[in-house]
Amino acid sequence: MNVSEQVPSDEWAAVQHLWADIAEAWFRPEGAGSTFMFRVPRNRFQTADTSQRLTVETLLEAAAISKDEVESWCFGDTSNSCTDGTHPELSHPLPPPPPDATHLTVYVHLKPPAQAAARYESGDQEVPLERWQALEACWRGILGLEVSIEALRLSMEGLRGEMEAAFKKSLAVEEKVHALQSDVLQWNKAKSRVHYALPKAREFIHRAIWALAVPERKRLEELVKNYIEPRIPIPQMDQVREQLDHLQKDRQVLFAQGNAVCQECRGIYAEIQRAMSTLQRNAADRVRQKRSAGREKGKHL
């Protein structure tokens, strides 16, 4: 396994040298730079042949890391740096772990991307401008969809509250007495649709909140910030593009589903309001008619 392609690591990964596992590695970004942690088991030091003893340089070769990328490294109480551009200690044999330890942990700090990018200036690994632009456009599209989804979620939250209030609303005493039975039936029929729409609204709201917190999304955001925006080539660019495309399609589907649910909820709420308006208007007309009839009867008396 090429550990340099794991950005960032989710678990320890084996690294091999001459087709044999020599250590486990873990990669994590740290601000502008990054760190590789190598965990070498004790049994790797049980050899009398000095030519086969492990060195930091061996670990770097196994992880496909250039020595030019190294800023400093340390293990135990030993610390070294490459600030002067030289690193002869990289080829020195590593000491065995302390008696009470099962592994020797070696920390290798890499230079910030601006410095590490120098190894790409030769043009051998140059990435076409169109490819960078495509990745950036895809990420901007994702961000735009997420803004639309968030706006839709907020709208759905308000609409859900209005639907719940409309469903719980009861008729005034005068409306109960004078409302037409057909109007009451139409109003109750419109309200009954709330039972089917509210679960859909709650599900979309939950999915919209959860979508911004998924680990895959956070990992891609870090890749965009640390590599794509500063345009630092990474080995798995094709894989990153596939992941961005997948995330964008997922957002498109979520927005389309949310928009459909929102339209359905708006239609139901509007239907309830129309039914209530019709009921109140007809009830008020009947009240006026009865009052007018009473006045006419009083005149004749």
Q: Within a 10 A sphere around the Cβ of 301, how many other Cβ atoms?
A: 4
pLDDT for 49-74, tens place per residue? 555 678 888 888 887 788 878 888 88
Chain position carrying tokens 């399609």? 249
Q: How far apart are CA 42 and CA 54, in angstroms?
A: 11
pLDDT-derived band at 284, boundaries 50, 70, 90: very high
Q: How far apart are CA 8 and CA 10, in angstroms?
A: 7
pLDDT for 145-170, tens place per residue? 999 999 999 999 999 999 999 999 99
pLDDT for 171-228, tens place per residue? 988 888 999 999 999 999 999 999 999 999 999 999 999 888 887 888 889 889 888 8
Domain ranges of the chain: 3-120, 129-300
pLDDT for 1-46, tens place per residue? 333 444 555 567 777 766 567 888 877 665 556 788 888 888 887 7
Cα-Cα-Cα-Cα torsion 36, 40, 44, 46, nearest 10 degrees, comes to 130
pLDDT-derived band at 116, boundaries 50, 70, 90: very low
- In the sheet that 70-75 helps form, which strands lie side by side, from edge to edge? 13-17, 20-30, 33-41, 103-110, 70-75, 78-81
Residue-wise DSSP of 238-282: HHHHHHHHHHHHHHHHHHHHHHHHHHHHHHHHHHHHHHHHHHHHH
Strands (E), 95-147: 103-110
**Residues facing residue 15 across a β-bridge:** 23
Q: How far apart are CA 173 and CA 12, in angstroms?
A: 71
The answer to pTM > 0.75 is: no
Residue-wise DSSP of 162-211: HHHHHHH----HHHHHHS-HHHHHHHHHHHHTHHHHHHHHHHHHHHHHHH
Chain position carrying tokens 């009398």? 48
224, two tokens: 């965009």
